[in-house]
C-alpha cells in the first residue's frame, strides 16, 4: 500500500511518515503542491493524505485537480476545524477529513478503512481460488500455506489481484515494479513472473501473449492449458 503524504510541517509529517511505515505502508512524503502533482504523475499510489495550508497554495486546489483525473481516496488533514471547513473539504471530493491535532492511531485506522473501501476488500485482503494476499500484513498464502515473496513479486501479485479478470499490460507492470527502467535480462518482468509462479503455483497467472498477464477469478487452465 503506497501513501502520498502532502504535509509541510516537518515534525508532524515525520511523525505520520514513521507511523504509516510502522503500519507496513510505503510513504512518499512531499511538502509542496507542485511536488505532490509531480509525484502523482510519476506513479501509482493508493491514497493521498492532504494538508490544506501549504507553502505554494491551498490543498483544495490539488483536491479539485485530483477529482478531475483520479479516483484516488483523499483524506484531508487540517487545522481548519469549523463545520464549514469540513463540509467544504468533503463536498470538494475528499473521502474523509481529520482535524489537527489528531492521534496517530486514529489516522492509521481511517487510512486502513479508506483503502479497504477503495479495494472493496475486507481488511486489505485480496483473495482468488485459495490464493490470498493481505495488503496490511503483507502475507501471501496459497491454500493456507505461507508463500515467501520478494517485494517485487509481492507488488506484482498485488497489482494483478486488484484487477482480477482484467488483463494488466506488461508496460504497466514494468513501470510499477521496475522503476527507472531498470529492466535487464536477469531482472526482467518475465523473470519475476516465473519466480512468482514457482512460489504460488502455475494455475493463477495467465499470460496473454504480446499484451500482459491476468489472474482469472475462475480457473481457466482447463480450457486454455497453462
Which residue ranges make up the site for Ca ion (CB under 5 A)? 8, 51, 53
Residue 132: C-alpha distances to residues 70, 71, 157, 206, 219 (Å): 27, 25, 10, 17, 15
d(Cα 153, Cα 177) in Å, to the nearest integer? 9
Give the full edge-to-edge strand order of the sheet including 168-169.
168-169, 212-215, 205-208
Q: Indicate the residue among 6 and 215 with the shorter CB distance to Ca ion.
A: 6
Q: Indicate the residue among 79 and 105 with the shorter CB distance to Ca ion.
A: 79
Query: Per-residue DSSP letters for 43-86?
Result: S--SEEEEESEETTEEHHHHHHHHHHH----EEEEES--SHHHH
Instruction: Give the nearest distance from C-beta 59 to Ca ion in angstroms.
Output: 8
Q: Indicate the residue among 51 and 95 with the shorter CB distance to Ca ion.
A: 51
Instruction: Give the nearest distance from C-beta 105 to Ca ion in angstroms.
Output: 21
Residue nearest to Ca ion (CB): 53
Instruction: Give the nearest distance from C-beta 9 to Ca ion in angstroms.
Output: 5
Instruction: Give the nearest distance from C-beta 79 to Ca ion in angstroms.
Output: 8
Measured in Å, how far apart are the chain's first and last C-alpha atoms?
30
Rg (CA), the chain: 19
Instruction: Give the nearest distance from C-beta 13 to Ca ion in angstroms.
Output: 9
Q: Indicate the residue among 27 and 160 with the shorter CB distance to Ca ion.
A: 27
Q: Indicate the residue among 53 and 151 with the shorter CB distance to Ca ion.
A: 53
Amino acid at each position: 500500500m503506497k501513501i502520498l503524504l502532502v504535509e509541510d510541517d516537518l515534525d508532524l509529517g515525520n511523525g505520520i511518515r514513521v507511523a504509516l511505515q510502522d503500519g507496513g505502508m510505503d510513504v512518499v512524503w512531499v511538502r509542496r503542491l507542485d511536488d505532490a502533482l509531480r509525484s502523482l504523475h510519476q506513479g501509482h499510489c493508493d491514497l493521498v493524505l492532504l494538508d490544506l495550508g501549504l507553502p505554494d497554495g491551498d490543498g483544495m486546489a490539488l483536491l479539485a485537480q485530483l477529482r478531475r483525473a483520479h479516483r484516488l481516496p483523499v483524506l484531508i488533514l487540517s487545522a481548519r476545524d469549523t463545520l464549514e471547513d469540513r463540509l467544504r473539504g468533503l463536498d470538494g471530493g475528499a473521502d474523509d477529513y481529520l482535524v489537527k491535532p489528531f492521534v496517530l492511531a486514529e489516522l492509521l485506522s481511517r487510512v486502513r478503512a479508506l483503502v479497504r473501501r477503495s479495494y472493496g476488500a475486507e481488511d486489505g485482503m485480496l483473495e482468488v481460488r485459495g490464493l490470498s494476499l493481505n495488503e496490511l500484513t503483507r502475507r501471501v498464502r496459497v491454500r493456507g500455506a505461507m508463500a515467501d515473496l520478494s517485494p517485487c513479486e509481492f507488488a506484482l501479485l498485488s497489482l494483478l489481484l486488484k484487477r482480477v479478470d482484467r488483463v494488466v499490460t506488461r508496460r504497466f507492470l514494468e513501470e510499477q515494479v521496475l522503476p527507472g527502467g531498470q529492466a535487464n535480462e536477469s531482472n526482467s518482468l518475465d523473470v519475476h513472473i516465473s519466480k512468482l509462479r514457482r512460489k504460488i503455483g502455475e494455475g493463477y497467472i495467465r499470460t496473454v501473449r504480446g499484451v500482459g498477464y491476468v489472474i482469472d477469478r475462475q480457473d481457466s487452465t482447463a480450457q486454455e492449458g497453462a
